[in-house]
Structures are given as structure tokens and as C-alpha cells.
Structure 1
Amino acid sequence: MKKSLLIIVLISACQFRVADEDARESLEDVPIEIRFGDLLVDGRNMHYAYTEQEKDVQLVFIHGSPGSWNAFIDFFKVDSLLRDFDMLSVDRPGFGDSGFGEAEPSLEKQALLIERVLSQFPKKKQILIGHSLGGPVAARMAMDFPEDFDGIILVAPSIDPSLEEEEWYRGAIKTQVGAFFTPKEFEVSNDEILALRGELELMLPLWDKIKVPTIVIQGTEDSLVPKENAAFAKRMISDSLLEVNLLDGVNHFIPWTDPQEITKAIYQLIDGQ
């Protein structure tokens, strides 16, 4: 499938920057109250959706680029997850209501901002779930705050710097004319993707800091994030901690096309502890 077609699929699958009132309407049949919060961190607002049931385990969802917390809204409707866990999904910096339009290319800074949000919700266990560019953010959080997390699920993650291509149109978006014709969400996405290779290179010496069980879920037909990123994870994370689930014939949009694979991985991590 061509990249342009994949982007169209992504746009149709996701509604960016959904208002809290609209999200509440979508979640009106959920038996648990879904709450929304904002936290000012270093001058930037961080917005998130969460449940607060005093469960022992919290699932933390980190969306890709572009996107917003509601990329994972359907997981807030899964009865078994609501029964067993608290959940939190955050608007990454620059998206949704987390300083919309103001990109934060630094993965280290993104990890810190999200960690500050999570510090408001002390739990006995926390599982990170990051999709696409949310994958390296989740990995960076586990590197920088190794005592805070108990497992990681990386879904189609962009983690290998050598696989980041220099795409001609990204420079065009940075021009005045290009910015005029580009939706703000894609401007933010462009800014952080332009910086991604360098950010991933900064992480290369840090992979041995990951000390928790990690599951990588990757589709073999992913035309946005090459499946070779899973092989990179195998090189960088200890065999005793890592499991790679390659999904034959599956593309990049696993949270929407194959959400059961993420749910299965969540329970696999919890049952193994």
C-alpha cells in the first residue's frame, strides 16, 4: 500500500483533537467514569483522559504522530480492561490540548512531561503502551525512569535511527507556502519527525537501561514504519526481557485493525509478573 493511501486511511481512522464533551458522548455507555485532566508542566499544558478506580495497575497509552489521546479511546470501552486496570491516555506535546501546534521534538523532554503527568497517579504497577512515534517516547521513559514502570508494549515503533528516511516533502512543509497549506497537526508531526533520527541516535547508548519485560508488536506489511524496527529491538534489548510478535499481513494501524493483539500483550505482561 502506498504511503499516501496509508495517510488517507489514518486520517479517516482518527479524529484529531476531539473535544472532551464529544469524547464523553462517545463514552456514555461505559460503566466507569472517564475523567479528563490538565497539568501545567514547565509552562506547557498537558492534557489527558483517565480512570480512577484505585486499581493496582495503570495502563499508559502514548499515541503516534499526528494523533491525540483518543487514538486509544476504544480501549476505554473494553470491559475486561476496565475491570482489571486503571487507564490513562495523554495528548503528547503539540497535539490535542497539550499546547496544540507547539511541537516538542526532544524525546527526552516529551518523556519528562508525560512522567510528570503520571506522578499525579501513583500506582503499584504501570505498563507503557506506545504506538508509532509514541513507541520511542515510551522507550525513552523506561530509560530515564527505570524504577517507575513494570512493562512496555511497543506497537509499530519508530526506534531504529538508520531506518528514518529523508523525505523530500518534509522540507517543503517548513516553508511559508508549505505551512499555509498544511494542517497544524501535520506541521507538528513534521517538526518532530524531522528531528526523530537525531533523537533516536541520542538513545542508542541508553537501551541497556531498559530492565523490564518488553513486547514489540509489528505488522509485516507496515509501509510507514518498516518491520526491521522489530529486529532493531532484538539487537538492543536483552533476549530475556523481549518478545517480538510479528503480525503477518498487518499494516501500521494496529490499535484500530488488531486491538486484540495489544490487549493480549497487556495480559501477557501482567500474568508473567
Structure 2
Amino acid sequence: MFKYIKWPVFIFIFFAGIGIITINLASYAYNAPQPVLKEYFDKLATEFTLKKITHNNRSLRYLESGLKNNKAPLLVFIHGAPGSIDQFKTFHADYDLKNSFKIISVDRLGYGESDRGRAEININVQAEVISKVLKQYDPVQTLIIAHDYGCNISALIAAKDSTITDGIIMYAPSINPTSKHTKWYHHIINNGLFRTILPDHINVSTVERINQEKSLSDIKYEWQKINCPILFLSEKSETKTKDNIEINFAKNHIPEHILHIKHRAGIGHLHIWKNKALLKNIILEFLADQVSPE
């Protein structure tokens, strides 16, 4: 019998090993250490500062660039699951943006250098520590740009304190508690063996996904408290079931007069890493128009 299962097992182990190596290599590309970030920004003649802040025994790292004046208009980037400040470095180095705004991006708790590997499933805690960062500034205008899971954190920041932000752009948001966030493989890779060989940010993302239904349910009534404009960016094709689920949640929980839904080609979940020129233009359009909801 063993001669029949030997090759299938070997093939499984081989491809699983290739997959794990690929994930770890890709992880480095999107979670570059400080020396790599410095090299990137030095080549583009971009001044930047990495800072840390603590809140209730949690430590959060954030990156600051652009205008020095604390009253300068502020762009704030919050990544999804997984992610890090590295995801937004292109925006920090963009000539137009860095000469018009102060720009901040954060490593969410558990990612990058913010208590790496220590997941935080309480969205209130995630929002509180980022709010603490933002309260250090006194900008004439603040815009939060959030991706995926980060959209929930941006919403809670705005719901808890209306003075912190003047608008939110949600890129491919994952905000509906009833969406099937947990896949069959999440429970498999959330065990001791896989957690040992997979990178920290994958483990943190897995924990967030497994707990996402409860985490999002805990804040679903907070959305109605938001009073700043929200731009909900979705893939142009409206036939995608997941997009419709997320859009329906937004329509049912976000006040109609502040919600603007825009369908654009190239707004897929992973496109935020590829189509940065599109997002830059959307940011500038949002700030110019202040998004008059249709």
C-alpha cells in the first residue's frame, strides 16, 4: 500500500514546500526592513521618519513623510490583512503628494514592526492606537485611505471622534460580518506546525480572518455614527457576489448622504499593489470635489 501513497505524499510535500518558500520570499517584498526602506527613499530623494507610539501595552510603528508643518493637510494610509507601511511607500515618495501633504502610513498591530506576530482582533484597540497617532497633528484637512480590513478601523476612528478625519476612501473594503471571511485552509494553517514555518504577518492575518465575523459584528452599529464623506471603491464589474455583499452592507449601515460608491476597473483586492497611479488620482479627485454623493 505504501508504494501507492509514497509519490502523492512526496508531491504534496514538494509543492507545499515550494508554496511556503514563495510566501516567505513574497513576504520580504512587502515587509521590507528599515535599511531597505531607507535605500528606497534615498534613491528618490525623499525624507522620511519612522516613529513608534505605545498604547495600553501595545506598540505601533508609523512612517511620516512630506510637509513638515503639523497643520499641513494630512493623508493617512491603513493597510489590510496582511500588509505593512511598505505597501504605501510609493505614495510617500510621490513628488506631487509629498510636496502637498504630510503623509502617514501605519503598521497595524501585529504587522511590520508593530508587535509583529501578536494579533489584535479587537478593532476598538486598533482604532484607538491609530487615533492616538493622529491626535498629535493639527492639520487643516485629514483624509484616511484604507484597504480591505483596514476600512473597518478607519470607520471606527471616524465614528468615535468626528474631529479626526474629514473623509475616508475605502479601497476594496471587507466590512460585512456575514461575508465568508474564513476559508477552509485558514483553520489548517492556524496550527502549531504551519504557524512555525509561515511568516508572522500570514499568521496574524489568519487569526484576524478566523475572528473577523465577530470582530465586524461588534462594530456594525458604529457605522451610522460617521458624518464625514466616504468613498467606497469597488471593482467595475457589479456582478461579483462579494462586491455586492459589501456594497449592500455599506448601503444599509452608512448614512446615505455621506456614502459615495464608485465602480472603477482595476479596483480588485490585490490591485492596490499594482495600480497606484489610479489611487493617487482618486485621492486628488476626492480632495478637489469632496465627493458629492450621488
Over 3 Å counting, the alpha-carbon distance change for 1:225 and 1:66 in structure 2 is farther
Aligned to 1:18: 32
Over 3 Å counting, the alpha-carbon distance change for 1:11 and 1:74 in structure 2 is farther
Contact 2:181 2:210 (8 Å CA) reproduced: no
Aligned to 1:253: 270
Question: Residues 115-194 of structure 1: matches in 2 within 5 Å?
Answer: 115-194=131-210
Partners of 1:250 and 1:205 lie apart in 2 by: 27
Structure 1, unmatched stretches of 5+, are none
Contact 2:85 2:112 (8 Å CA) reproduced: yes
Question: Residues 204-243 of structure 1: matches in 2 within 5 Å?
Answer: 204-220=220-236, 226-228=242-244, 229-243=246-260
Aligned to 2:49: 35
2:61 corresponds, among 44, 47, 64, to 47
Runs of 4+ with deviation above 4 angstroms: 8-14
Partners of 2:64 and 2:253 lie apart in 1 by: 32
C-alpha displacement of 1:76: 1.2
Partners of 2:28 and 2:275 lie apart in 1 by: 15
Contact 1:150 1:212 (8 Å CA) reproduced: yes
C-alpha displacement of 1:90: 0.5
Partners of 1:81 and 1:236 lie apart in 2 by: 32
Stretch deviating more after TM superposition (261-270 or 67-76): 261-270
Aligned to 1:89: 105
C-alpha displacement of 1:107: 0.8
C-alpha displacement of 1:128: 0.7
Secondary structure at 2:251 match in 1: helix
* Larger Rg, first or second structure (1 or 2): 2
Aligned to 1:76: 92
Secondary structure at 1:204 match in 2: coil
Structure 2, unmatched stretches of 5+, are 1-18
Pairwise CA RMSD: 2.6
C-alpha displacement of 1:41: 1.8
Partners of 2:185 and 2:26 lie apart in 1 by: 22
TM-score relative to the length of structure 2: 0.82
C-alpha displacement of 1:174: 2.6
Q: Please list the CA deviations of residues 133-174 of structure 1 after superposition, one character each: whole Å capped at 9, or x if unmatched.
A: 111111121112222110000001110111134322222223
Aligned to 1:104: 120
C-alpha displacement of 1:31: 4.1
Partners of 1:189 and 1:132 lie apart in 2 by: 12
Aligned to 2:281: 264
Paired letter, 2:58: R
Partners of 2:233 and 2:199 lie apart in 1 by: 30
Stretch deviating more after TM superposition (77-86 or 91-100): 77-86
TM-score relative to the length of structure 1: 0.88
Contact 2:172 2:267 (8 Å CA) reproduced: no
C-alpha displacement of 1:221: 6.7
Contact 2:135 2:164 (8 Å CA) reproduced: no
C-alpha displacement of 1:178: 3.0
Secondary structure at 1:111 match in 2: helix
Partners of 1:225 and 1:58 lie apart in 2 by: 34
Contact 1:225 1:252 (8 Å CA) reproduced: no
Over 3 Å counting, the alpha-carbon distance change for 1:62 and 1:249 in structure 2 is closer
